[in-house]
Every structure is written in C-alpha cells, then in structure tokens.
Amino acid sequence: MTEDLVYRLRKRAEIRRQIPSRKSVQENQSDRLSDLLEEAATEIERLSNIKPFAWFDPSNNHMSQDKNDPLFTPLGQLLPLFTLSNIDAGIDRNTDNKGYEIGTEEGYNDFIKYRNRL
C-alpha cells in the first residue's frame, strides 16, 4: 500500500511537469508542488524503512525487543518504539508537553513514571 501511494505521488509530479500549458514548464522552471510531491514520496519511503528497536504494551507497561514476548497481553496493543536518530525532530510526538521523547530509554522511563501517576 505504501508503494502504491509513493508511486501515485511520483506519477502526479511527473504529469504536472509535462503539462505544456503550465507556466513553470513554459519558463523551464521547477514546479513547487511537483517538488513537494516528490519530497513527500521520498519521506514516506524513508519512514517505511525504519524498524522499531523495541515494543511497548500499555495494558501492562511491559517493554521488550521481542515483538512475540509472552509477557505481552494477548490482545494488548503493541506500540513500536523508535530511536530519535532514525526519526527527524520534525514530527512532534510529545503531545502532553511533559518533556519526554518516547524514542529514547530516558524518555521511555519518564513516560512510564508519568503514565503510572494517571
């Protein structure tokens, strides 16, 4: 499905660049929207290749590097954890402004402390 979206974004950018009536084509300049479509496709590809370093089950506060760990709740929702070095800071996952980043070990510990207070 990701490949399909990436293909469609790139194909749309290619089509826009070939329309002879477009001003950017006539003046032999880059098309900003086509460039943005290409950039989005590249970012989707990059993010789809990132693998989590561990998994977290919020139903029992268990974290493991093994997705099939028997301590995970059978019907629990597993959340993937990523390192910050693999994900750009442009995506703000810190929605409650508590000062932790879920992608780091310190952030994970702060997250658990905050979650246990709820």
Write the DSSP symbol of residue 11: H
Which pLDDT value is given to residue 51? Answer: 83
CA atoms within 13 A on the CB side of 87: 20
Instruction: State what percent of residues in the chain have pLDDT above 70.
Output: 69
Distance CA 79, CA 99 (A): 19
Q: How far is CA 17 from the centre of its chain?
A: 28
What confidence tens digit (pLDDT) does each residue in 51-106 have? 888 888 888 888 888 888 888 888 878 888 877 655 554 444 444 444 444 556 66
Least confident of 22-26, 73-77, 114-118: 114-118
Higher pLDDT, 47 or 84: 47
pLDDT for position 8: 95
Phi/psi of residue 116, nearest 5 degrees: -70, -20
Query: Where does residue 61 fall: left (phi above 0), alpha (psi -120 to 50 degrees), or beta otherwise?
Result: left
Most confidently modeled range among 8-12, 48-52, 67-71, 113-117? 8-12
